[in-house]
Amino acid sequence: MIAPEDLEFAGTHGRLVVRRWPHPEPRLVVLIAHGYGEHSGRYIHVADVFSSYGAVIYAPDHAGHGRSDGDRANLSVLEDMVTDLRALAALAAADHPWLPVVLVGHSMGGIIATRYVQRYGGKDLVALVLSGPAVGGNPALTMLLEFDPLPNIPIDPTILSRDPHVGQAYAEDPLVYHGPLQRESLQAFVTSARAVAGGGSLAELPTLWIHGEDDQLAPLAVTREAIERIRGPRLQEKVYPGARHEIFNETNSAEVFADILEFLDRTLTDVP
C-alpha cells in the first residue's frame, strides 16, 4: 500500500486537510467523501482497494471533521462542504488533467456527493458511487427535533457493522466526533434531504448505489424513496442482506469492493 501524504488548502471554513494517495502510473482519480463525525483516515483500506486498481486518491476531512478547521461536526455548513469538494476536484484535475474522475460518497458524504452532481452537473465526473447515502434523512432522528433540549444520544458504534472490531475502533478513535448531535446539525439533515429531493436527477451519470439491508442510520426504505426521485437512467443498485451502515467495513466488504470494481470496469470501458 502506498502511504498517503497530507495536503492542505483553504476551505470555506478554514484549513482543510486532505489525505492523498499517489500512484506511479494512475489511470483514474478517486475522490472520497466521508460520513458524519468521522474522517478520511477511516478509509485507508478503501483507498488501498482503489490504489490497487490504479487510482490516485484524494480524501478530505470535511469542515469541522478530523484534522480540518471548523465547528465540530456542525452540519449547518453541509452545502459549504460541497463547495470545498468542488475545489478539491479542481485541484485533482489540475494535477491529473487527462484522468477520469470517480466520486465516492458514504452516508453524509453521499449527500455531499449527490449535491455535488446536482449543483455542478457532474460533467467533470465519469462515475458516482453512493454507499449508504443519507439522502432520505432518518425519521427517527428527525423526531428528536420535538424535544427541547435534545436528548444526548451519540451514535451507537454497534450499529455500524456486524464486525464488532469496527465499532470498537470507532469508539476509540480520537479523531471521530463522539459528542451529541446538535440541533442545527439535525435540522441540516432535514434541510439536506429536501435539497436533494428538489435538486434534480443524476441524469446520465453512471451511478452505483450500494446499501446495507439493516442500515439503521440511513434506513433503506426512506433512502430508496429519495433515490427514486433523483435516479437517472444509468443508476445501478445493490442491497446487501443483513449488512449494516458501513458496508465498506462489513463482514462481506470483499464482495462490496468487488461489485464496485466491476462497476468501474464497465463504466471506464465506455470512457474515451
CA end-to-end distance (rounded Å), the chain: 29
pLDDT at residue number 7:
95
**Cβ–Cβ < 8 Å for 112, 78:** yes
Of the listed 40, 107, 131, 185, which one is catalytic? 107
Q: b/e for 176-215, b at 16 or more Cβ within 10 A?
A: bbeebbbeebbebbebbbebbeebeebbebbbbbbbbebb
Of residues 222, 246, 256, 254, the one with CA closest to residue 38: 246
Q: What pLDDT, on the 0 to 100 scale, is given for residue 1?
A: 67
Given the residues 61, 161, 245, 253, the one annotated as active site: 245
Give the cell for residue 160.
455500524
Domain boundary assignment for the chain: 5-269
Q: Is 76 noted as a catalytic residue in this protein?
A: no
Report the distance separating Cα 269 and Cα 104, nearest Å: 19
Is domain 5-269 in CATH 3.40.50.1820, yes or no?
Answer: yes
pLDDT at 78: 96
Other CB atoms within 10 A of residue 48 CB: 15
To the query of whether residue 215 is one of the catalytic residues in this protein, the response is yes
13 in catalytic set: no
Q: 147 falls in which pLDDT band (50, 70, 90)?
A: confident
Q: What is the pLDDT of residues 17-75, one digit of tens each?
A: 999 999 999 999 999 999 999 999 999 999 999 999 999 999 999 999 999 999 999 99
